[in-house]
Amino acid sequence: MTEPGWVEHVIWWQIYPLGFVGAYPADPAPTSGEHRIRRIVDWLDYALELGASGLALGPVFASRSHGYDTTDHYRIDPRLGDDADFDHLVSQAHSRGLRILLDGVFNHVGTDFPRYRDAVGGGDTSWFPVRDGNFATFEGHDGLIALDHGHTEVIDYTVDVMCHWLGRGADGWRLDAAYAVPNAFWAQVLPRVRAVFPDAWFVGEVIHGDYDAHVRGAGFDSVTQYELWKAIWSSLNDANFHELDWTLTRHNEFLETFVPMTFIGNHDVTRIASMLVNPDHVEHALVILLTTGGTPSIYAGDESAYRGVKEERFGGDDAVRPEFSAPHEGVGEHGHQVFRAHQHLIGLRRRHPWLHTARTEALHVTNHGYVYAARNGDDVLVVALNVDSEPMELSLPEFGFAAAEMVAGSGAPPPEVVADVIVPAHGWLVLAPR
């Protein structure tokens, strides 16, 4: 593993800045003089209250629309503000002990990218591959122009951009659409960046495929664990914990090579509170996230049970990328309950940092019930999940534990140390064996 030591303790709170501050979609678009990125500073104490230790930012660089059509990697998007505003945000975050993760789009650029405008005008086209007589695009999106990742200047440019912002205070990079970029490109870029910033962390966005091969071939510290994300909500909705168990078996294998970035929500998917049929199961999803190996990320709003459905249409992401007003504003009782659950479980995670690389071992698996041990050496927690309408009775000696202390759970807590427990209907427990 190549990840720096600080990553063991980080829990990201992810923000999509353009939406968060109401800069996109917006008509008219705000100007740099509005300094909107500074609004995020007003939320940093909230992030601490939640228990986060890092701020994962979506695109902040100049672009034409949603941020993933970059026009200038060296310039803060004027709809967000300017360099001084970014420096202020980084300074305020670091003063609170919050790490900063930036979102780097190096697979493609927007149509206003100067080198592309020059190429279209008859200039040098070498940065952009041509297919069937046209400049190649990312997955057919006309506004996203693919870069030639075999070009030496594109490699040098990417290295320089990444080092520039790490030098300005960023702690790492999320590499957008990394799955669409040849591993050989990253293998040339990342060692050069690490040589200057050895404490930086690099996570590639990989949706499907061979995660291990991407990590080994590209040299990422981590990749996004979409397999686990899907298994969590799918198992809870279908009452099929066998799917989750199978996925956690693969997850254990990944942990032999790298620590995945884990999540139950992000800016590209339907919010977990909308994805799950039963709102009581939002906490189950969170329990899995925070008691299994990985580097967890909480998407802003999910901690208060925000709802939003992603749709495959123009503007289909807007519902999951809303503007935020003030902390806790408009959050109902269920939202407050989910926030408290986040605080409690994030606190549990931070008190047990060994969970970062913990493997899971299935102790009991049925369609409606799942009990697993999260282990790392001599450290162990037992997690029990129940999505049945009836309580689930468990005898800990059957799993090799004489007794256990309940450290978290839904419903009324059982006695402090018990040998037998009852997991409430649609409930969950986390126990520390004694």
416 band by pLDDT with thresholds 50, 70 and 90 = confident
189-217: per-residue pLDDT in tens? 999 999 999 999 999 999 999 999 999 99
3-state DSSP assignment of residue 414: coil
- Is 90 exceeded by the pLDDT of residue 17? yes
- Is 70 exceeded by the pLDDT of residue 227? yes
Placement of tokens 């990422």 in the chain: 220
Backbone angles phi, psi at 350, to 5 degrees: -70, -25
Quote the mean pLDDT of the chain: 97
Residue 2, pLDDT score: 76
Distances (CA, A) of 276 to 268, 270, 283: 16, 10, 11
3-state DSSP assignment of residue 37: helix
- Is 80 exceeded by the pLDDT of residue 413? no
In angstroms, rounded to a whole number, what is the distance separating the alpha carbons of residues 103 and 92? 19
315-343: per-residue pLDDT in tens? 999 999 999 999 999 999 999 999 999 99
Residue 307, pLDDT score: 97
**DSSP assignments along 362-378, one per residue:** EEEE-SSEEEEEEEETT
- Is 70 exceeded by the pLDDT of residue 412? no
3-state DSSP assignment of residue 219: coil
